[in-house]
Amino acid sequence: MAMSLPTVLAAFCLILPTLLVLFANASVPLLAASSAAMALLLWHRERRLPWSWLWPGPAIGLPLALLFAWSLATCLWALEPGESLYLLLRVASLVIAGLFLMAAVAALDEHERAMPRKAMLAGFAIAVAVVVLERSLGQPIYTTFGPTSPQHNLLSAMNRGATGLAILVWPVTALLARGRAGYWALLLPPVLLLPLSFLESNAAIFGLVAGALIAALALWRGTMGRRLLIAIVVATFVIMPIAFSGLYNGELARAPWLDYSSQHRTEIWAFSTDLIADKPLFGWGFDSADDMAGAGIATISETLRHLMPSHPHNAVVQIWLELGAVGAALALALMLAMVWRLDRLPPLDAAAAQATFLSCFSISLVSYGIWQSQWISTLLAAAAIMALVRVPGGVSVAVAAGPAGREPAPPNQRPPVERKAVEPKAVEPKAVEPKTVEPKTVAQHHAD
């Protein structure tokens, strides 16, 4: 089969879910290689690189650009400026790769999207089957090809894959609901809870449940889902750094009703908010959380846990800590612009997109560093796959909406227009029959 945009995107969708389950870090080169191939194919197809397609519009593009500019400025006072600058360039390259992936999706018409969509369904099903088989058989694939260090916990080895499945389940559900499954597709997220419960990822379950609640509200009350998302995002950015300042005490870090990981996080978050109070406006500098232990700022707590292992395990706290109030305001503006964009979709797509967004946001509040390459790749891939679910031109058949809705095309992402050749119609000459005119009588002449 000749390489084309649909085939490359289909390969990406087929491989990604299982790769996240078994070897999550490999999703970074997968994203980079797929985006590079699609950029070349776009250039061959359009005879130019459609740079304008990489611009997501001023509502999202402006706060995104300002956030990168501010992050670059904070590298000047970061604990390790050189390392911070290097990481920022790596994050920027991943974002550009993700934008190329989304540009490739935007270039596909409805017929070309059929293959990648089927590949996404197959890839997701294979990944879930791998989770079940690996846990049932003692994880033979991971123990054979995965890390062999004794510090590695087999039970948590697939946690990153679990969070990936908790995110990708929403575009998969939308695809199934649009097909023959109909309303039955809505049972997929609750069913996914069963295989995820065999893993040690509370973050995945938290994200899946949060996504399910917002999806149900969006399908039931339409714009109520977007309003709740806005309230959650604003409240999190405003309240969380303040609320965590009084969170830690010796009893909570030893509370028996919290698992070890949750106990540790209470210490990390409380320590982080104390550091935020020291530099609230401009922050400690991009990626400084990773260097605090080496600089002697973060030490060992009284429970013998690291107060800053490498990041705060909370995206909002990390943004406040490293970029200050300025960075937090820019990040909040970016996220609100994303939420606002989601409401322009037809009902089913809007519900799936809102669930994807909240699952990603919820997971980022309890796990991962916001600048981790694997996590950024997962977020970008989820955004591209969610865009793949949509129908070009905005027509979407939604199980909750009845008739298809009309969605405006996003700025600078006009779907290609198929031009059909018009065959000239043969015109058959008609025979003209001569009319015979009968002469009028005198009486008729007078009557006229």
pLDDT, tens only, 297-320: 767 766 657 777 888 899 999 999
Within 21-66, strands assigned E span: none
Q: How confident is the model at residue 172 (pLDDT cuts 50, 70, 90)?
A: very high
What does the alpha-carbon distance between residue 206 and residue 166 come to, in Å, rounded to a whole number? Answer: 9
Question: pLDDT per residue over 175-195, tens digit each?
Answer: 999 888 888 999 999 999 998
Amino acid identity, residue 370? I
The CA-based angle 412-418-421, given to 5 degrees, is 145
Phi/psi of residue 18, nearest 5 degrees: -70, -35
Residue 110 Cα distances to 327, 352, 373, angstroms: 39, 19, 31
Q: Give 224 or 154, the one with higher predicted confidence.
A: 224
Q: How confident is the model at residue 282 (pLDDT cuts 50, 70, 90)?
A: very high
pLDDT higher than 90, residue 259: no
Task: Give the three-state DSSP class for 198.
Answer: coil
Which residues face 306 on adjacent strands?
Answer: 300
Residue 280: HSE in the Cβ half-sphere, 13 Å Cα cutoff: 6
Q: At what angle do helices 114-136 and 373-389 cross, to 10 degrees?
A: 130
Those residues whose C-beta lies under 8 Å from the C-beta of residue 167, and which sit 6 or more positions away, are: 207, 211, 356, 359, 360, 363, 378, 382
Q: How far apart are the C-alpha atoms of 174 and 398, rounded to whole Å?
A: 9
How many angstroms from the chain centroid is the CA of residue 206?
16
Mean pLDDT of 64-88: 96
Quick: pLDDT tens for 226-242: 899 999 999 999 988 88
Write out the two tokens for 369. 């560093």
Quick check: 406 pLDDT over 80? Answer: no
Rg (C-alpha) for the chain, rounded Å, is: 28
pLDDT in tens, 385-401: 999 987 665 433 333 33
Tell me how far apart the alpha carbons of residues 62 and 330 are, in angstroms, rounded to a whole number: 9
Provide, rounded to the nearest whole percent, the portion of the chain with pLDDT above 70. Answer: 78
